[in-house]
Amino acid sequence: MHRAGVGRVLPAVIPALFILAWTGASTTGLIPTYLLPHPLEIAGSGYTYVLGQPGEGPYAGRFLSDAGASLLRVGCGFAAAVAAGLPLGILSGRLSVVHRLMSTTVNALRAVPGITWLPLAMVWFGIGMRTTVFLVALAAFFPVYLNAAAGARQVNPLWLQAGAMMGVRRLRGTFAILLPGAMSHVMTGLRLGLGISWAYLVLGELTGVPNGLGAVIMDARMLGRIDMIVVGIIVIAVIGRVSDLLLQLGMKFCFKSARRGA
């Protein structure tokens, strides 16, 4: 009984201590508020950002349009990464020809940090949403592809043989056997990919797009609005976590294999 109660509180301990220490440092002036705003000030800015009326201040009420824009960019980029990475990954896991074709290029590109793609992307796609979506898609592709390949590779060949003898032909076999058989790896890849999408969204919104959660953080940096930087970080963390949960729920809803954690 006692242990169960304590167990539930444990995850909240570190954040709570952190906020406590921060509040203490700000209130006592240990760290001046122009370097690190008081948590209450941050809470106030956050409130205005999310629930304020547009026009009240530079960031008032912008949350919905920023979140909507960012969600759209993440959605498009992630979708593109999955559309390319999932089938290629599964093919690469099953056909050594595909694997050999892709392996060197994929691993070389994977080593290149995303920020170095930004200037090139601007040359190719110009300013605007396309560059952002490209960066997000590029970053999310790798975990989706690599995990799909690993998942497809470890699918028990007996299942495919069983499927063949039961009359399940090639393409149906992919959806009926290969994908469910690889599902736990595929899920991992998708979740990692979505997480990376949010990370690269901020990079992609550095320049060329008019709004978005990453843009807010970058602009706040230029204006020295540390409170808004923290608000932006918290908002992205929350939305990112929610999107991860939605992804898991969605996959579990659509696929028995995801539901049953095969």
Residue 241 in contact with another protein, rule: CB under 8 A: no
Indicate which single residue of 50, 98, 168, 192 sits in contact with another protein (rule: CB under 8 A).
168
Cα(259)–Cα(246) distance, rounded to whole angstroms? 13
Stretch that binds another protein, among 10-18, 62-70, 73-81, 140-148 (CB under 8 A): 10-18
H helices of 29-156, where? Answer: 39-51, 63-94, 96-110, 117-125, 129-153
Indicate which single residue of 44, 98, 159, 199 sits in contact with another protein (rule: CB under 8 A).
159
Indicate which single residue of 54, 68, 210, 250 sits in contact with another protein (rule: CB under 8 A).
210
Shortest distance (Å) from residue 158 CB to another protein: 4
Cα(198)–Cα(246) distance, rounded to whole angstroms? 14
End-to-end CA distance of the chain: 32
Backbone angles phi, psi at 218, to 5 degrees: -65, -40
Q: What angle do CA 216, 217, 218 make, to 5 degrees?
A: 95
Note whether 139 and 82 are within 8 A (CB).
no
Residue 232 in contact with another protein, rule: CB under 8 A: no
Residue 172 in contact with another protein, rule: CB under 8 A: yes
Residue 224 in contact with another protein, rule: CB under 8 A: yes
Indicate which single residue of 95, 97, 109, 162 sits in contact with another protein (rule: CB under 8 A).
162
Note whether 132 and 77 are within 8 A (CB).
yes
Cα(42)–Cα(30) distance, rounded to whole angstroms? 17
Residue 122 in contact with another protein, rule: CB under 8 A: yes
Residue 230 in contact with another protein, rule: CB under 8 A: no
Note whether 215 and 209 are within 8 A (CB).
yes
Residues 26-65 close enough to bind another protein by CB under 8 A: 30-32, 34-36, 58
Contact positions toward another protein, by CB under 8 A?
Answer: 6, 13-14, 17-18, 20-22, 25, 30-32, 34-36, 58, 119, 122-123, 126-128, 156, 158-159, 161-168, 172, 176-177, 180-181, 183, 206-210, 215, 219, 221-224, 226, 256-257, 260, 262
